[in-house]
Structure 1
Amino acid sequence: MYETVLYEVRNATAYITLNRPETYNAFTEQLNKDLGSAVKAASRDDSVRVLVVTGAGKAFCSGEDLGGVSENMDHGEVLRSRYNPMLLEIERCEKPIVAAVNGVAAGAGMSLALSCDFRVASEKASFVEAFIHVGLVPDAGNLYFLPRIIGHAKALELAVFGEKVSAEKALNVGLVTEVYSHESWEEDVSLFADRLAKLPTKAVGLIKRNLRASWSSTYQEFLERDAQAQRIAGKTDDHREGVQSFIEKRKPLFTGK
């Protein structure tokens, strides 16, 4: 289906695997295109309730493939034409997206992880703001998400010094949600995805939407967004199931509808 990603749906979860292990899953124009298309397909598939993005082999994603970088390259145009469409597909997706960071996430690979809703990491994973080492600025939405996740001061520190952040340190600063052992990695990622898949998917999407809007809304505007979102959520099957299960004193069985 795709040249540079593997796509598989299991247990209501779409597993999207960057598949250029010989380059540590470095981005090319084709990988940008394939990843965006895969996210779009999962967003439109009613059987999918969670997306997991990970990397084949030892790395999550090492960033842009420097083998394709030329002296006359317009880096801004590369971002506009290749990265932005991919990132906007991720942003538009109202289903939870998990970055399963199995190894190094460097440069634009770190940006990709930041653009996802959750980050879980292997104990062998690491994060590197590699841009500064080649005289560039963190891009692909990196500096939009990073301070929102870990705060301004720590974001500036990581971006300016470009030092490797271990999985343990990433957990300590709030960059990742969980760190899993290498031996149980695949099982633990599946369990995390399954946990998300059992939630009321429409409500999760509305939570994502309102959290994004909170950064640019006045309090009065946001209260109206509250009302609009709750009206939508209140009409879902999952809301009715939640109320009924409470009355019947049992665990709810959400269907994502």
Structure 2
Amino acid sequence: MDFETIQFSAEDGIARLVLDRPDKMNALNSQMRAEITQALTSLPDQVRCVVMTGSGRAFCSGQDLTDANAARDLEATLRDEYEPMLHAVRNCPVPVIAAVNGTAAGAGANLALVADVVIAAESADFIQAFTRIGLVPDAGGTWAIPRAVGAARAMGMMLFADAIPARQAADWGLIWEAVPDEEFAELVAARARHLSQGPSSAYLAVRQAVSASFDNDLEEQLKLEAKLQGQAGRSSDFREGVTAFLEKRKPRFTGH
């Protein structure tokens, strides 16, 4: 696949998607949104984990405010371009790590937050910048952030539009972890290797169960857990996991 606004590569079961407009702090324009969607919905069969990150000093600064076409009808842009992109991340057939290497602002922050796991360099920050220009948080932010940190912190983030440092974001539970910049690349690579060698179908079932838990009551959630566990129990990865445990060796999962 040839792209102009992102870099995409796949090796050893790991796909690397790099937002690549560093002169614009990787701001999202129509082409980038389309390319992210295309890349995530056309993954090579051997891919078992995706790492999404940014080039240069930012992860993503949000909507490109010089994109006049997008500004002309924001509702249509969100419906026709943002929603497919966000669904492509959230419904990706393999786990997605957002490796936030720098500032993640506005829709760029919310693009990261719909990933399965967010790992940030300590120098990164997260900004719900929308009200600074008279807009409302979008790109799933009003869905993801209250679920992660509660209504009080979500409201504060959105009304005051303060930059939340990565370490604070981790302490709040907004992201999984913040790591020193000098350790960031190595740790992200290790996390990606772990997921790429793991039981992929079980990972997707975990995503499904956790997502459903916010809407289900306990009875519904127990039924869903039983259904998903039944499916996992019939997988070759489960058989391999048990065999490896009994043989005291590392399992060799295939993702099936």
Map of 2:29 onto structure 1: 28
Contact 2:50 2:97 (8 Å CA) reproduced: yes
Query: For 2:149 and 2:197, how far apart are their aligned partners in 1?
Result: 28
Map of 1:108 onto structure 2: 107
Map of 1:37 onto structure 2: 38
- The one-character-per-residue Cα deviations of 1:16-57 (angstroms, maximum 9, x if unpaired) are 001111100000000000001111122xx3311111110011
Query: For 1:201 and 1:70, how far apart are their aligned partners in 2?
Result: 39
- The one-character-per-residue Cα deviations of 1:64-118 (angstroms, maximum 9, x if unpaired) are 0001147972211110011011111112214211110001000000110111111
Query: For 1:40 and 1:46, how far apart are their aligned partners in 2?
Result: 11
Residue 183 (structure 1) shift: 2.5
Aligned alpha-carbon RMSD (Å): 1.6
Query: For 1:34 and 1:190, how far apart are their aligned partners in 2?
Result: 23
Contact 2:90 2:116 (8 Å CA) reproduced: no
2:206 maps to 1:214: no
Query: For 1:27 and 1:72, how far apart are their aligned partners in 2?
Result: 12
Contact 1:94 1:206 (8 Å CA) reproduced: no
2:51 maps to 1:46: no
Contact 1:94 1:208 (8 Å CA) reproduced: no
Contact 1:60 1:104 (8 Å CA) reproduced: yes
Q: TM-score, normalised by structure 1?
A: 0.94
Query: For 2:140 and 2:98, how far apart are their aligned partners in 1?
Result: 15
Query: Equivalent residues in 2 for 1:10-29 (5 A)?
Result: 10-29=11-30
Map of 1:75 onto structure 2: 74
Query: For 1:151 and 1:256, how far apart are their aligned partners in 2?
Result: 34
Residue 220 (structure 1) shift: 3.0
SS in 1 for 2:249: coil
2:139 maps to 1:135: no
Query: For 2:253 and 2:164, how far apart are their aligned partners in 1?
Result: 37
- Equivalent AA in structure 2 for residue 33 of structure 1: A
- The one-character-per-residue Cα deviations of 1:2-21 (angstroms, maximum 9, x if unpaired) are 12110111221110001111
- The one-character-per-residue Cα deviations of 1:198-234 (angstroms, maximum 9, x if unpaired) are 2211100011011112222333333322222112111
Map of 1:170 onto structure 2: 169
Map of 2:182 onto structure 1: 183
2:188 maps to 1:160: no
Query: For 2:132 and 2:71, how far apart are their aligned partners in 1?
Result: 19
SS in 1 for 2:60: coil
Q: 1:231 to 1:160 in 2, by over 3 A?
A: same
Map of 1:148 onto structure 2: 147
SS in 2 for 1:47: coil
Alignment length, in residue pairs?
255
Contact 1:94 1:209 (8 Å CA) reproduced: no
Query: For 1:24 and 1:217, how far apart are their aligned partners in 2?
Result: 39
Residue ranges of structure 1 left out of the alignment (5+ in a row): none
Query: For 2:227 and 2:51, how far apart are their aligned partners in 1?
Result: 29
Q: Which moved more, 1:22-31 or 1:163-172?
A: 163-172
Contact 1:94 1:204 (8 Å CA) reproduced: no
Contact 1:106 1:127 (8 Å CA) reproduced: yes
Residue 154 (structure 1) shift: 1.0
- Equivalent AA in structure 2 for residue 130 of structure 1: A
- Equivalent AA in structure 2 for residue 129 of structure 1: Q
Q: 1:72 to 1:101 in 2, by over 3 A?
A: closer
State the identity as a percent.
39
Query: For 2:95 and 2:36, how far apart are their aligned partners in 1?
Result: 16
Query: For 1:185 and 1:219, how far apart are their aligned partners in 2?
Result: 38
Residue ranges of structure 2 left out of the alignment (5+ in a row): none
Q: TM-score, normalised by structure 2?
A: 0.94
